[in-house]
Chains A and B, each alone.
Chain A
Amino acid sequence: MASVGVLALQGDVREHVAILGALGASVVEVRHVEDLARLDGLIIPGGESTTMARLLVTSGLREPLRARLANGLPVLGTCAGLIMVARDIVDGRADQWSFGVLDVAVRRNGFGRQVASFETVVAVEGIGPVAGVFIRAPQVVATGPEVTVLARHDHGSGPTPVLVRQGSVLGCAFHPELVGETRIHELFLSSC
């Protein structure tokens, strides 16, 4: 049974914990450096990326987590979590940092403010249609050669990637956890 952490500094932690539990994983809520020991994988949930970034620094988690990710710790980032694993952030704060383990550039709030937040159906390679809830979601605006695009969504200005994978790193612009969708988490657990 894989031991999977959910970064629990801020955001929709509970929904990820529930899905991992339902899939039989052993779940660790990560708030302190000690919580990183013995993890087989990590989920960075939805929330505010600037808040998470600050709390990663104040909790002392930033550098130990950076080292674990550099050593290949599998990670799934949803929404703010996608921003935290991306290589480049467009339209963020000038000093905004990320772990940079996924070779994509993302635009913060790329689909607009909350009044433009939307739900749709996303067709995922190898899985099929899943409910896609996009909340002030980041938009992937560039992908590197190692990145596989598993789903795209066309929001009126041409299709952009909304679920991407690079090795054991998965980045998702929407929130499968909000609707109890388990198949993307299953895909993630298969690499843990």
Chain B
Amino acid sequence: MTTSPDSSTVGSTLVKRGFADMLRGGVIMDVVNAEQAKIAEDAGAVAVMALERVPADIRRDGGVARMSDPQLIQEIQAAVTIPVMAKARIGHFAEAQILESLGVDYVDESEVLTPADEEHHIDKWAFTVPFVCGATNLGEALRRIGEGACLIRSKGEAGTGNVVEAVRHLRTINAQMRRLHSADAAELAGLAKDLQAPLPLVREVAELGHLPVPMFCAGGIATPADASLVMQLGAEAVFVGSGIFKSSDPVRMAEAIVEATTHFRDPSTVAKVSTGLGTAMRGSETASLEQRLAERGW
């Protein structure tokens, strides 16, 4: 039996969210060139995020951080068989259009880059390529889903190597979802107002007990133990930015974080892969930061 091509639909919500489902249990690694992308793929990354500078360097260098050069993205696409994601500035739909035309597999509308619009995020429903967005709490997550995001990552504080903000955001989102799950219909309307989130999505979370899209974790993950921690707190996959290529042995760190993410409930495996790994990225106290990236986006 054969079906014909005319009955096919591209870019549906099912196809976009379903792709995020395929990344669950995996590690998405920031890479700045084809060589790092190969290292990530060899180590078992489920996808790479192509960018010109990892967040720790963006933080150090200052200035305006923008979408990467298309040439860099194409070199990385040519180097690996796994999905390639790339970042657009918040609200910069023209950058997102360019990334879509390059055939990137996911666009990250990211607070790590300098926002292009201080009032509006990108209308993500208008695209065939799926979007991932960051969130620090449930209201922010649901606003992004309302705009068409098909994957949410807790923001954490990128480029710090400090997991404390990622933990705060995951715990906040989880606690707020539990509150919705136990609320009655009248309370849900009030909670939607408090969360500044669309009521239909609030009702959906209340019924499901979780987001209608996968929830991953990003921002500050620097060790296998960090990956295990955020997975146990309910993240379904992890983004690792500076944590791999700012460590003393990126190959082993990449492999170790991949294994720890799969076997996150098994402390003996996480212990084994953590042994003799060398130095993790140095990291910074979030209290001493001049710029909190997580405060970008609203």
Listed in ascending order, the chain A residues whose CB lies under 8 Å from chain B are 8-15, 31, 46-48, 50-51, 54-55, 58-59, 79-80, 91-93, 96, 108-109, 113-125, 132-136, 151-156, 159, 175, 178-179
Contacts and interface: CB of A to CB of B under 8 A. Distances in A.
Interface in B1-40: 1-5, 7-12, 14-15, 18-19, 21-26
A10 B26 contact: yes
Interface string B212-247: 000000000000000000000000000000000000
B21 A48 contact: no
A11 B24 contact: yes
Q: Name the interface size band of chain B.
A: 35 or more
B208 to A, nearest CB: 13
Candidate in B8, B82, B130 with the most chain A CB atoms within 10 angstroms = B8
29 contacts: A9-B25, A10-B262, A11-B22, A11-B24, A13-B25, A47-B24, A47-B46, A48-B46, A50-B44, A51-B44, A54-B258, A55-B259, A59-B263, A91-B81, A93-B81, A115-B128, A115-B129, A116-B10, A119-B14, A120-B7, A121-B7, A124-B1, A125-B1, A135-B18, A136-B19, A136-B83, A152-B2, A152-B3, A175-B18
A134 to B, nearest CB: 8
Given A12-B24, A152-B2, 5 more contacts: A47-B25, A119-B9, A132-B3, A155-B8, A178-B21
Interface stretch (B100-108, B194-202, B281-289): B100-108
Contacts of B266: 31
A80 B81 contact: no
